[in-house]
Amino acid sequence: MAKKEVSFYPGCSSQTGASSSNMMRATQTMCDELDITLNEIPDWNCCGASIGYGGGGELPRLTLSARNIALSEQHNPGQDMVATCAACWLSTREAKERLHEDQNMFRDANTALNEANLKLNNQTPVRHMVEVLIEDIGFEAIRAKVKKPLEGLKIASYVGCQTNRPFGIAEESFENPVYLDHLIDSVGAESIPTYEKKVQCCGGALAFSEPEKSQEMIHGIIEAAYDHGADLIATPCPLCQANVEIYQDQINARFGSKFNMPVVYYSQLMSVAFGRNSKDSALDGQIIRAKSLEDIAGK
């Protein structure tokens, strides 16, 4: 496999001691195995996420992402900018496209960037890690890397919103994307293509501000996974992962359910399947432990 280098945008939640630091660890492991070098963009900043609109207007938010793209272009020239967080990817790609379509906005963003001595060319592709896996690496190559197939595991693919809409992964449908099912199948587990909550919203940032409404949706997401006999839920999105995993106690209290469903990242599945141990696969980062994965990793 040819060595691949990408300009990596980890995002705030991936930092040490942050809510998806476990994803970062598993992503690193997965990329080591697939010979993908992650060149972190120096001094990257927050993308503004999907909640930044309240305090920040359109141009300030676009400028935040423009700074990241500019830094990527400056420090990692010629490399695709790649994010693992749905919101990071979405905000950055949205900014890239908006600044491409609207030349006035592009000029204004550069005027602001100039204050930080930066300049945006806006020529860099902004991609999601999943795109790299599917388009550059391919399911076949992933399958070939599997040392410990995740046999006997039934996994609900929870794609969520922002990895899927509005851009999504090429060739996929908004209503029923199947790439995550294919990834699950590729590592030897059993996917649930008919899992009906695959693209249901978990509430996103509103899990914080509107917990009742969000937890009602999360309840449905987990319940449907149980209905399909899932052992695990897998997701590409850090906020999806956190929302669906960490509130299960509160949801159980609210709805009288007895949920104890592990929610993991695709990168964790791959790390385990590629033969790496629990720690490399960040299984210790689970709040609801993924025993079945730990068993395979421990073999």
Partner 1 sequence: MSDLNTAMTERYRSSFLKEVEANVEEGEWVKMCMQCGVCAGSCPLGNAWEHTPQKLFMMIRAGKREAVLSSDAMWMCTSCYNCIARCPRGLPITHIMHGLAHYAKRLGLSPKNQPTQQFAQIFWDNLMKKGRVNELKLGLSMYFKDGFGQGIKNAMANQKLGQNMMKAKRMSAMELFGGHSIKDTSGLQKMIKKAQEIEDAKIQGNS
Number of residues that bind partner 1 (CB under 8 A): 67
Per-residue binder mask for partner 1 (CB under 8 A), 232-251, x = binder: --------------xx-xx-
Distance CA(266)–CA(27), nearest Å, equals 9
> Binder to partner 1 among 27, 33, 48, 233 (CB under 8 A)?
48
Is 166 among the residues that bind partner 1 (CB under 8 A)?
yes
> Binder to partner 1 among 60, 149, 193, 275 (CB under 8 A)?
60
> Tokens 């293509």 correspond to what residue?
193
For residue 265, the minimal CB distance to partner 1 (Å) is 12
CB atoms within 10 A of CB 117: 7
8 A C-beta contact, residue 4 and residue 136:
yes
Per-residue binder mask for partner 1 (CB under 8 A), 255-284, x = binder: -----------------------------x
Is 54 among the residues that bind partner 1 (CB under 8 A)?
yes
For residue 59, the minimal CB distance to partner 1 (Å) is 4
Q: Quick one: 76 or 200, whose CB is closer to partner 1? A: 200
Per-residue binder mask for partner 1 (CB under 8 A), 26-45, x = binder: -----------------xxx
Distance CA(81)–CA(62), nearest Å, equals 16
Is 152 among the residues that bind partner 1 (CB under 8 A)?
no
User: Which segment (123-131, 204-212, 258-266, 290-298) binds partner 1 by CB under 8 A?
Assistant: 204-212
Sign for the CA dihedral angle at 63, 69, 75, 77 comes to negative
8 A C-beta contact, residue 186 and residue 242:
no
Q: Quick one: 21 or 39, whose CB is closer to partner 1? A: 21
Q: Quick one: 124 or 162, whose CB is closer to partner 1? A: 162
Per-residue binder mask for partner 1 (CB under 8 A), 85-124, x = binder: -----------------------xx-xxxxxxxx------
For the segment 207-226, give every residue that binds partner 1 (CB under 8 A): 208-210, 213-214, 217
Query: Which residues sit at the interface with partner 1, rule CB under 8 A?
Result: 12-13, 15-22, 43-46, 48-60, 62-64, 67, 108-109, 111-118, 161-162, 165-166, 174, 199-201, 203-206, 208-210, 213-214, 217, 246-247, 249-250, 284-287
